[in-house]
Chain A
Amino acid sequence: MERKMGKATRDAYGETLAAIGDENRNVVVLDADLSKSTKSVMFAERFPERFFNVGIQEANLAGVAAGLAMCGKIPFASSFASFLVSKGFDQFRMSIAFSELNVKLVGSHGGITVGEDGASQMSIEDIALMTSLPYFSVIVPSDEVSTRALVREMAKHNGAVYMRTGRPKAAVVHQASTQFRIGKGVRLREGKDLTIVANGFEVVEALDAAERLAKEGIRASVIDMHTVKPLDKELLLEEAKKTGRILVAEEHQIWGGLGSAVAAFLSANHPCKMGFVAIQDTFAESGKSEELLEKYGLTAPYIVAAAKKILSK
């Protein structure tokens, strides 16, 4: 099905941040010399006095954000997800999570859809790292509509949040009228044979896969599980009880991401047949986004194949 191509989630982030800056004077923004790429530059241009470019230093970025939060500011700190999370992690752990501070971290260029820049720039372990920290909520929005709403939710939420945004443009999968809440998944398609749970760029692949399956008479639910933590347990239970087959698709390493979170919850509460579409414990490489999604097994045909495998169990 043809879908309207929307903005990149990082663009939606930058625009929303600039809008929030007008409404809430406590919002401050930090970046580590990548504001033109993370799009926090949109805030910087409008509110230079509340924008701090710390230079290429992710550890200090996190600590400075923590100090600002201690004084009642609402800091949004951005960089590429790969550098932000890997290099700032000890600071996220001690200065933010353990300290219970209201810091918002936004890592852009998540996943392998970074494309041509190659493996060093691709964050495919950020969700595993960030979900391991108490006090953090972890969000991976799929399109511009959900990003706009969830950035606003982040600003309202009192607690640390990590959001992953993407580099390329993303197809619009949500209605403007949809309500988004941290920790509440969105059912995009109702089915009874199996449930595909996805986030980020995999949501549109899951919808395409569901359409292909429908042509063969297989009816799949599709859930945009934009929040990995806290997980929408209610919705998962409902789907598991209804379809008994759960397939998780994500642009992340197979270990420690959305699939692991869903599996851990369901295996303890409602064991059912499961499948996983994710990056198979490897690093990716340079190439076009769509070529990489294909090569690393994340496109709709792979989801269809994984769905059939579960259905044949």
Chain B
Amino acid sequence: MGKFSVEELEAKAKLVRRHIVEMTGAAASGHPGGSLSCTEILVALYFHQMNHDPRAPHWADRDRLVLSKGHASPALYAVLAESGYFDPETLTDFRKLGSPLQGHPDRRKLPGVEASTGSLGQGLSVGIGIALARRLDRKDYYTYVVTSDGEMNEGQTWEAAAMAAHHKVDHLIAFLDYNKYQLDSSTKEICDMEPVIDKWKSFRWHVQEIDGHDLAAVIRAIEIAKKVKDQPAMIVCHTIKGKGVSFMEGNNHFHGVAPTPDEVKRALEELK
């Protein structure tokens, strides 16, 4: 943890983005847009902040990550592979029959995946359960949950938000990958959840608001959130859907549509 400089992390982020493009391209399916938007969050966690060991994925004292927005599985698989959980060469087996790299994360199939997700809104509750177990066991690990803006539409998100604050659950740090789009259109158009910051504050969470593509800012925010006591922490990350590839940025076509072989080529040119 903490062994990489911000510049090195930026290079990791670029590498992760290349994987995302290649994986979804090879599978001819998947969700590149929301994977590219949460790349810095996952890179900051796995290569800087999280206490984890790819050789001991079930180590009891490890920090845990729940990818509540399970459709961003390509981003998770890329950071797991680059962390050493499995061979990055196998990333392009994504979504193929028999591969542990399921369309959405499956904890039974891939060591390193903490929670099976893909039905939106469930990750925060699971994260609370892990954080409560930590408290009972008097351990020091942190539980991170990466959620999406679309997921805020789900009632369960707010059940979890209220309950976590009431039970003073700390060592629980959530990220909102606020890329402003969901499947059908912009979050503003479908079911506008603004004022987002006020909502989480009114639910009695510790809230920070940052640029989710600024690795130094992500790291700073995590370090502040770790010190929060008796309260869950939310880091609202303003992000760009499809970040890093010019023709994917802010283009919601790439929410759940993979790049074509030609688009893969163009994207990889940009990500050199």
Contacts and interface: CB of A to CB of B under 8 A. Distances in A.
Contacts, number: 103
A68 B133 contact: yes
Which size bracket describes the interface of A in this complex?
20 to 34
A57 B115 contact: no
A71 B155 CA distance: 25
Nearest to A54: B163
Interface of A: 28, 49-50, 52, 54-55, 57, 59-60, 62-73, 75, 90-91, 93-95, 98-100
Interface stretch (B82-90, B120-128, B182-190, B192-200): B120-128
A98 B162 CA distance: 26
A52 B167 contact: yes
Contacts of A93: 119
B156 interface: yes
B133 A73 contact: yes
A57 B160 CA distance: 9
B163 A64 contact: yes
A64 B125 contact: yes
Point out which of B119, B123, B159 has the most chain A C-beta atoms below 10 A from its C-beta.
B159
A98 B121 CA distance: 16
A67 B132 contact: yes
Interface in B128-145: 128-134, 136-137
Q: Which 7 A-B pairs have the closest CB atoms?
A: A67-B129, A63-B125, A71-B133, A57-B159, A60-B159, A64-B129, A67-B126
How would you classify the secondary structure of chain A's contact residues: helix, strand, loop or mixed? helix
Interface residues of B, number: 33
12 contacts: A49-B136, A50-B136, A54-B159, A57-B163, A59-B121, A60-B159, A64-B126, A64-B160, A68-B129, A70-B114, A91-B125, A95-B115
A54 B124 CA distance: 14
Contacts of B156: 57, 59-60, 63, 91
A40 B133 CA distance: 19
